[in-house]
Structure formats: structure tokens, C-alpha cells
């Protein structure tokens, strides 16, 4: 994007000439220059002619749960849709980072249906409903590998044209609208043209590059929530773990002692205690390995990912040695990438805040419901999470839910650009609730449907009649109750 790598190993022209006579560095390396200027800190490329690879009515960038839902729903309502994804497979955190639990309940009843329910039904071979449904927010667990196939099939059936293995690197903005995205592919830079663009990158890459304002991190120090390397185990002897259940407390105590002495990595305590005491098979993703830093800094992210992988083996090696039943356990799978919770939060027409979440505030422009608590993983990487504290003031009341407004996905700078998923407009606190995959899919469905309506009516997304949108969403199975009638 606008940011170029800082550690260029090229010589500036002046320095090179001073040290190696008059032969330009590039010429020496057998390269030809076409008016580019190269210095220590930047390379200026004055002209770029970029081939158009494809075009569509709606271009969705980012193939996580938010982007999949947006692409599917826009296509179902008649739009010609392209979905772009930098990784080889779709699903984002849900598949590639092994985050495999969906939440649909306000602890009394299911309040998220629509696209989420379609994915659950379509993926029934890979998704199972939890036994205590709907008494906890967590309602469905799925096999991340199988869900990749389900997402592929759903998008194929909806007629979405999917491109994986390319990264969007620049938003081309003229006359106040995004005209195209520049994408980097194995065969060079290309363009994807469209009429409406939906940023589902999680990091808000498209919106930020197009110049839409954003926030990053908490107010106090600008840090974002901690990240996690998810993993799964195999070879666990469940019966033996159960027979030696008393040992779990000793091993947990040892982990804490070693950590406090600086001889063992940080870990999410509540999760580790539970994994040691109740045996979990290879289908369960272990969510206990924290790291913290800036997910938009490529070198830092590389270092943190390596650290996460190392920490996972430190836990497993200790358990193999100390915990009966874990002797033959080993890592079965790790996230393809770190689980990233938070980065840019793009400024919208509306910003969801913590009070709206915990007071279950209703909105006139709602596109669905949310109910998860304010669940903040310590931005300093200790592994502490407000989820472990279970404080009532961090949660919407049981049996109630807040509204996810369309306004948090639209902005007042670029009318043909929307944002869905964890980069939509919220405070650090509200983000810690609304970032759930099921909430991201609610946004995707609302915005994807809105985009298709905007195109067929020849208006911007903000001008689509909200009542018409809500009635279309209801027809598509979305749960929408207590909608405020005024104040849109």
C-alpha cells in the first residue's frame, strides 16, 4: 500500500556513484530503469500501466467470514460479484487460524440466523450444535478444514467469482469514489474494477488506503488486543487423564511457577486449567497461547508468529513430561497464521460503543443482533482476558441483545465503499464484542444485500431505504426485533 518496506538494501544513486564509479547499480545488475528514482528511503515509480484482470458490480476484498457472507448475499440479490483473498483458502480466522466456534444465542434463545444458519445447515457434516444450546452464547463448533469446502461450494452456487492468492495493495480513487483495486499477483500487479467495493480485510486495508479515517488500539496507549496462536493436539489418552485428574492442579501450578520465574511462556490461565483437567481430542482448538504487538508491522508479525509456534511446543513438551495421559500427545495442527483480534477500526457513519453493547441498545438502521460480552485479551500479551472475569457489567443482559447498525459499515468520505467484519466502526471496547464471526457475518449479509439493492436502484448504499433493506433481510431469515422506528 502506501507504505513501502523500510529496510531497502539498495544503494542510493549518489552513494553508489561515490563508491563504485559511474556504473549505475541497476545497470550493473542487468536491469533497465524507466524513469524510476531510487533512494535509501523510497522508490518513486512515476507511471504505472496496470492490466485489468476482472471487473464486477461488487468487489469484496477479504475472504473471511464477513467477506464470504457479503459476497454470497450480494450475488444472491442479483449482483455480479468478485471476492478477493490473499491466502490460498477462504474462511479467514475461522479456517486458517483454527477459530472454530460460532455464537448465535443471547443465553436464552437463538438471535442470529440468516447467512449464519445457512452456513450451519449447508455445513452440517462439519458443524455440530453444542449440547447446552441455547443456554450459552457459544452454540456451534465446526471443523475448520471441512468449512473451507462448504464456503467454496456456497460461493460457487451463488455465482461469485473467487480469486485467492492475490493481495490488494492499493485503492484507486477518482472523483471521490473507488474505481478499482490494484492487486499483486504471481505475474505482477493487476487491477480489479467495480462499482461498489466492500472492505472485508479485517485490517481495513482498502478503506485506509482510500483515505478513510480510522482508529488503532485502545485510547490509553494505542495498543490492540493480544493475538493467539491456536493449536490442536493428537494422541491424548483421555481415560488416563481422567484417572489422574488430581495431577492437573499440580501441573497448572508448575506452569504458573515457571512462568513467574521467567522460565515458561505466558498462557491464558482459565483455558490452560480447563484443557488439563478435561481431556480434549484433536477436534478442539486450544485457545491459550498469547502474543502481543502490532499486526500491521510485517516484521513484528513474523517474529510474533514464530514466538507463538515456539510457545505451543513449550506447553506441549511440559505436558508430555508432567501430565499423565499426555505422554504421547503431540501437535496435530497449528494456525496457518496467528489469530488476530484487532487492528484498524474504520470510522463509520455510526460508531458502536461499549454502552451500546452492555445496555443492549436498539437502533433504527439495524441489520441484525449482537450479544457477546466485551471480551478484551490483554494488549500486553499476559494472556489475561476479561472473558475469564465474567463480570456482569461487561455483558448485555441475559436474554437481550444489541443492534448492529448499518451505519457502522458505511462512511461519510467514500459513498461506494463499505466495511464489514472486525474493521467496522467501533470503539476498542465495543469491538471486543462485535468482532465475533457471527456478528461479522451479520454485517456481511446486511451490507452485501444493501450493495445489490443500491445497484439495482441506482443510488448509493446510504440512500437505500432502510425499511426495504430490513424487510429483504427478514425474508432471508435474519432475526430483526425491536427496530426503532425513527431517527435514521
Ligand X SMILES: Cc1cc2nc3c(=O)[nH]c(=O)nc-3n(C[C@H](O)[C@H](O)[C@H](O)COP(=O)(O)OP(=O)(O)OC[C@H]3O[C@@H](n4cnc5c(N)ncnc54)[C@H](O)[C@@H]3O)c2cc1C
Residues of this chain that interact with ligand X (CB under 6 A) are 61-67, 84-87, 92-94, 97, 99, 101-103, 167-168, 200-203, 205, 228, 230, 287, 339-341, 421-422, 435-438, 440
The least CB distance from residue 356 to ligand X, in Å, is 18
Q: How far is the CB of 3 from ligand X (least distance, A)?
A: 12
Min dist. Cβ of residue 94 to ligand X (A)? 6
Q: How many residues does the chain have?
A: 488
Residue 98 or 241 having the CB closest to ligand X:
98
Query: In this structure, how many other beta carbons lie within 10 angstroms of the beta carbon of residue 177?
Result: 16
**Pairing of the two strands 214-216 and 344-346:** antiparallel
Q: Nearer to ligand X by C-beta: 167 or 333?
A: 167
Q: How far is CA 322 from CA 150, 243, 259, 326, 386, in A?
A: 40, 15, 15, 8, 29
Q: Nearer to ligand X by C-beta: 102 or 252?
A: 102
Task: Please give the radius of gyration of the chain, using alpha carbons only, rounded to the nearest integer.
Answer: 24
Q: Using CA atoms, how far apart are residues 434 and 138, in angstroms rounded to an integer?
A: 14
Least distance in Å: CB of 338 to ligand X?
7
Least Cβ distance, residue 331 to ligand X (angstroms): 16
Which of 477, 441, 472 is CA-nearest to residue 68?
441
Residue closer to ligand X (CB basis): 182 or 453: 182
Output the smallest distance, CB 76 to ligand X, in A: 18
Nearest residue (CB) to ligand X, 87 versus 264: 87
Q: Give the nearer residue to ligand X in terms of CB position, either 241 or 436.
A: 436
Query: Cβ 267 to ligand X, closest distance in Å?
Result: 13
229 with 242: CB under 8 angstroms?
no
Q: Compute the distance between CA of residue 39 and CA of residue 29 in angstroms, rounded to an integer.
A: 17
| Block residue for cell numbers 480510522 | 214
Give me the DSSP letters along 82-139.
Answer: EEE-SSSSSBTHHHHT---EEE-B-SSSB---HHHHHHHHHTTTTEEE-TTTTSSSEE
Distance in angstroms (rounded) separating the CA atoms of residues 106 and 115? 18
DSSP 176-229: TEEEEEEEEETTEEEEEEEEEEEE-SSS-HHHHHTT--EEES-TTT-PPPPEE-
Nearer of residues 66 and 408 to ligand X, judged by Cβ:
66
Q: Which is nearer to ligand X, 341 or 428 (CB)?
A: 341
Least distance CB 350 / ligand X (angstroms): 18
Cα 37 from Cα 42, distance rounded (Å): 8
Amino acid at each position: 500500500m502506501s507504505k513501502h518496506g523500510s529496510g531497502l538494501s539498495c544503494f542510493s544513486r549518489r552513494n553508489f556513484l561515490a563508491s563504485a564509479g559511474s556504473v549505475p547499480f541497476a545497470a550493473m545488475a542487468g536491469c533497465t530503469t524507466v524513469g524510476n528514482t531510487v533512494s535509501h528511503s523510497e522508490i518513486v515509480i512515476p507511471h504505472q500501466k496496470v492490466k485489468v484482470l476482472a471487473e464486477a458490480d461488487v468487489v469484496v476484498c477479504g475472504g473471511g467470514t464477513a467477506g464470504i457472507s457479503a459476497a454470497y448475499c450480494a450475488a444472491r440479490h442479483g449482483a455480479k460479484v468478485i471476492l478477493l483473498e490473499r491466502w490460498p483458502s477462504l474462511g479467514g480466522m475461522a479456517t486458517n487460524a483454527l477459530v472454530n466456534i460460532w455464537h448465535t444465542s443471547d443465553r436464552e434463545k437463538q438471535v442470529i440466523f440468516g447467512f449464519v444458519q445457512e452456513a450451519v445447515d449447508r455445513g452440517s457434516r462439519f458443524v455440530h450444535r453444542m449440547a447446552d444450546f441455547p443456554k450459552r452464547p457459544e452454540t456451534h463448533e465446526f471443523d475448520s478444514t471441512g468449512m473451507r469446502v462448504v464456503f467454496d461450494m456456497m460461493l460457487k452456487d451463488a455465482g461469485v467469482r473467487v480469486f485467492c492468492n492475490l493481495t490488494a495493495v492499493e485503492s484507486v480513487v477518482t472523483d471521490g469514489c473507488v474505481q478499482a483495486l490494484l492487486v499483486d499477483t504471481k505475474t505482477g500487479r493487476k487491477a480489479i474494477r467495480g462499482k461498489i467495493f466492500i472492505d472485508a480485510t479485517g485490517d481495513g486495508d482498502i478503506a485506509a488506503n482510500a483515505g478513510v479515517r480510522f482508529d488503532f488500539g485502545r485510547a490509553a496507549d494505542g495498543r490492540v488486543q493480544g493475538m493467539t496462536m491456536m493449536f490442536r493436539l493428537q494422541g491424548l489418552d483421555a481415560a488416563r487423564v481422567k484417572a489422574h485428574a488430581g495431577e492437573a492442579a499440580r501441573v497448572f501450578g508448575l506452569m504458573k511457577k515457571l512462568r513467574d520465574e521467567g522460565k515458561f511462556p505466558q498462557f491464558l490461565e482459565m483455558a490452560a486449567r480447563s484443557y488439563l483437567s478435561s481431556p480434549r481430542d484433536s477436534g478442539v482448538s486450544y485457545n491459550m497461547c498469547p502474543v502481543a504487538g502490532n499486526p500491521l508491522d510485517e516484521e513484528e508479525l513474523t517474529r510474533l508468529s514464530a514466538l507463538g509456534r515456539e510457545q505451543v511446543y513449550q506447553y506441549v513438551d511440559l505436558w508430555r513430561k508432567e501430565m499423565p495421559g499426555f505422554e504421547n500427545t503431540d501437535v496435530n495442527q497449528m494456525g496457518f497464521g496467528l489469530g488476530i483480534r484487532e487492528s484498524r477500526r474504520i470510522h463509520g457513519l455510526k460508531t458502536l460503543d461499549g454502552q451500546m453493547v452492555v445496555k443492549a441498545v436498539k437502533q433504527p438502521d439495524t441489520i441484525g443482533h449482537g450479544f457477546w460480552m466485551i471480551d478484551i485479551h490483554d494488549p500486553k500479551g499476559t494472556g489475561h482476558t476479561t472473558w475469564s472475569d465474567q463480570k456482569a457489567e461487561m455483558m448485555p443482559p441475559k436474554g437481550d441483545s444489541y443492534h448492529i447498525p448499518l451505519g457502522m459499515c458505511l462512511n461519510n468520505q467514500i459513498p461506494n465503499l463499505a466495511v464489514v467484519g472486525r474493521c467496522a466502526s467501533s470503539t476498542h471496547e465495543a469491538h471486543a464484542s462485535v468482532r465475533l464471526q457471527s456478528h461479522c457475518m451479520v454485517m456481511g449479509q446486511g451490507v452485501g444485500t444493501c450493495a445489490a439493492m443500491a445497484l439495482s436502484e441506482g443510488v448509493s448504499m446510504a440512500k437505500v431505504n432502510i425499511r426495504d433493506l430490513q424487510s429483504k433481510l427478514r425474508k432471508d431469515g435474519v432475526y430483526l426485533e425491536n427496530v426503532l422506528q425513527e431517527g435514521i
